[in-house]
Amino acid sequence: MGVSGGVSSGIGAFLHRAESRLLDLSIEAQQADWVYATHITLDSEAVAAKANSRLIGATVELAKESTRYTTDRASPEEARKTKLLRLALSLAAPSNVTESQELTALVAAMQGAYAKGRHVPLGSSEPVDLQALSRILTESRDPAALEDAWTGWHRVGHGMRADFTRYVDLANRGARELGFEDTGVMWRSKYDMPPEQFAQEVDRLWQQVEPFYRSLHAYVRRRLRGTYGDAQVPVAGPIPAHLLGNMWSQSWEGIYPLLAPPQEGAHFDLTKALVSRGTTPEQLVRYAERFFVSLGLEPLPASFWERSMLTRPRDREVVCHASAWDLDYADDIRIKMCIEITGEDFQTVHHELGHNFYQRAYARQPFLFRESAHDGFHEAVGDTIALSVTPEYLLRIGLSEPGTPEADDTGLLLHRALEKVAFLPFGLAVDRWRWKVFSGAIGPADYNRTWWEVRTQYQGVAPPAPRGEEEFDPGAKYHVPANVPYMRYFLADILQFQFHRALAKDAGAGGPLHRASIFESREAGHRLLAMLELGQSREWPDALEVLTGERRMDAAGLLEYFAPLRRWLDEQNEGHPIGW
């Protein structure tokens, strides 16, 4: 439908022009971002900021132009494309060119400050990066060293407050120009439902899993008290964040040795197995590629192996945060990681390749449909595959030897819950806080206090010592300075179990859900690919139905997966306080 009384060809011609222009600018921006992320300099930062400013400016311009067209007589495809165009941005810059360039420069500068963060740990004379500080949190049992590493990294946000405050103001101006109340409302409008309904859906999913999380939290708190004593860990309050083995307390598997079930038998150590075989970073990625290929998907292109960054270069600053890239929206897919040979990175590589195989599957769609059904789908695909990294799978690919003692299912499930279930409230808290910041319910003078109030509310964690407003602890989490919406990770943590349950059924996997693997199942691969190829051409309930037969996100798969552990935790917690 064209402008007031035109015909459908009017909006069709507009969309064709818009997609062509946005494809060109998106490729330019991706290439500039890749150079910046893999070679951080003032020049690469400036080039990336300008490329992103051009892309954002064009997207805002075209989104506004699209409002001149009505879609009541447009084809369903044209109507969906128009809607998606208006929702395409996670960062909407103001139409004022100077302000638009300022906004993208602010985000680039905050990302650069994050990437260059360093701290000299206790007992050392040399500054180290986030990866090294994270290893201290995982490996040390000295509360002073743990607090020092935690506090040292969180200083990275110290100088970001003013930039972040200005970023919020400019981002909200851009969102309002597109017709949204603020940036948070714009983010929540991307889920094929009204933003207030989406917020209710998130609450519903959290209510399904919150009792399980509280049970896990109570068990972990009690075991940590056994290690660190009453002076460090309260009987019934929040857990100190620096004792949980992760810089953001978002996953706790790093302290599994402190939490393992009593009298646990021999536990298979994937990290040790990988290291003992002399596994290289490329070989680690080859393991993950082999899994996707076993489902019937095409191998990665040669360019992936030539152009990806798999290890930290010695000669320059880079953004080590693991990410998957689609540079030409066709076949130039890559990952960027500073891979370490660990079981954790084995899982992470599966996750990142999930993005790449998804990107490749929907590459035949029109440009505005080259995205996942919603952003949680993109994050869930690789993690769904990682749920099939079971003891039986590791045996089949030769990473464990015949006769290797099987890990007790309680230990196996506890280890995975420390990764997956522990993450859920953090995945919720990051954007719950940002939604209030964007709406104005939280002002700059209260950023840090409210950050910890929200995290304590959902996670039951607290900083190792009081944190004042001279700090800006949200800046110590990459996704905040980088303007990456975080609700996708919460949704993915739910969806991956829903996906896994459906695909395991297709694969004919018997036994309990946590032991099921879809490795080498072409039936499961066929159903997975059918969903991946849709991209964003259909509303997400349609895509969910293709994969699972269900039209509503549901945590029942997660609760079924962990059912044996839930019963065990209830027994362990009997007579002990739950909650904070």
pLDDT the model gives residue 412:
87
Query: Average of pLDDT values for 102-124?
Result: 94
What are the angstrom distances between the C-alpha of 409 and each of 273, 565, 568?
A: 19, 8, 11
Residue type, 572: Q
Residues 6+ apart with CB under 8 A from 576: 218, 222
Residues 6+ apart with CB under 8 A from 329: 23, 26, 27, 359, 363, 367, 370
Query: Average of pLDDT values for 318-335?
Result: 94
Catalytic residue among 109, 113, 145, 322: 322
Q: Is 489 among the catalytic positions?
A: yes
Q: Is 351 among the catalytic positions?
A: yes
Catalytic residue among 479, 520, 545, 560: 479
Nearest CA to 444 among 223, 73, 163, 152? 163
> What band does 64 get if pLDDT is binned at 50, 70 and 90?
confident
Catalytic residue among 79, 321, 330, 550: 321
Nearest CA to 220 among 201, 241, 195, 190? 241
Residues 6+ apart with CB under 8 A from 236: 577, 579, 580
pLDDT the model gives residue 220:
98
The pairing of beta strand 461-462 with beta strand 333-336 = unpaired
Nearest CA to 76 among 549, 547, 542? 542
pLDDT the model gives residue 6:
39
**DSSP H helical segments within 362-442, as ranges?**
375-386, 391-396, 409-420, 423-439
Contact by Cβ (8 Å): 150, 247:
yes
Q: Is 479 among the catalytic positions?
A: yes
* 67/580: higher pLDDT: 580
Query: Which tens digit of pLDDT belongs to each residue from 544-567?
Result: 999 999 999 999 999 999 999 999
DSSP, residue by residue, 10-49: HHHHHHHHHHHHHHHHHHHHHHHHHHHHHS--HHHHHHHH
Residue type, 259: L
Beta bridge partners of 474: none
> What band does 3 get if pLDDT is binned at 50, 70 and 90?
very low
Q: Of 3-17, 179-193, 208-222, which range is least confident?
A: 3-17
Query: Average of pLDDT values for 127-133?
Result: 95
Query: Which tens digit of pLDDT belongs to each residue from 401-442?
Result: 765 555 568 998 999 999 999 999 999 999 999 999 999 999
DSSP tag of 546: H
pLDDT the model gives residue 1:
32
Structure tokens at 18: 């818009």
Query: Average of pLDDT values for 446-459?
Result: 98
Q: Is 321 among the catalytic positions?
A: yes
Query: Average of pLDDT values for 482-511?
Result: 96
CA–CA separation, 311 and 320 (whole Å) = 9
> What band does 9 get if pLDDT is binned at 50, 70 and 90?
low
Residue type, 90: S
What are the angstrom distances between the C-alpha of 115 and each of 38, 82, 166, 471?
A: 11, 36, 20, 18
* 88/481: higher pLDDT: 481
Catalytic residue among 352, 371, 419, 471: 352
Residue 24 exposed, middle or buried by CB count within 10 Å (0-12, 13-18, 19+): middle
pLDDT the model gives residue 265:
62
Catalytic residue among 119, 154, 242, 355: 355
Nearest CA to 153 among 133, 136, 138? 133
Residues 6+ apart with CB under 8 A from 436: 184, 442, 450, 454
* 6/500: higher pLDDT: 500
CA–CA separation, 145 and 263 (whole Å) = 29
Q: Is 576 among the catalytic positions?
A: no
Q: What percent of the chain has pLDDT over 70?
A: 97
pLDDT above 90 for 269: no
Catalytic residue among 19, 147, 379, 419: 379
DSSP tag of 261: P
Longest dimension (CA), the chain: 76
* 484/9: higher pLDDT: 484
Nearest CA to 308 among 329, 337, 280? 337
pLDDT above 80 for 267: no
Please tell me the pTM assigned to this model.
Answer: 0.90
Question: What are φ and ψ of residue 434, in 5° steps?
Answer: -65, -35
Other beta carbons within 10 Å of 282:
12
pLDDT the model gives residue 406:
52
Other beta carbons within 10 Å of 27:
18
CA–CA separation, 341 and 16 (whole Å) = 46
Catalytic residue among 219, 393, 486, 489: 489
pLDDT the model gives residue 263:
75
pLDDT the model gives residue 402:
66
Q: Is 242 among the catalytic positions?
A: no
pLDDT the model gives residue 472:
98
CA–CA separation, 504 and 387 (whole Å) = 10
pLDDT above 90 for 138: yes
Query: Which tens digit of pLDDT belongs to each residue from 162-178?
Result: 999 999 999 999 999 98
What angle in degrees, to the nearest 10, is found between the helix axes of 540-548 and 522-532? 170
Burial 136-159 (b: 16+ CB within 10 A, else e): bbbebeebebbbbbbbbbbbbbee
Query: Which tens digit of pLDDT belongs to each residue from 224-251?
Result: 999 999 999 999 999 999 999 999 999 9
pLDDT above 50 for 461: yes
pLDDT the model gives residue 8:
46
pLDDT the model gives residue 231:
94
pLDDT the model gives residue 69:
87
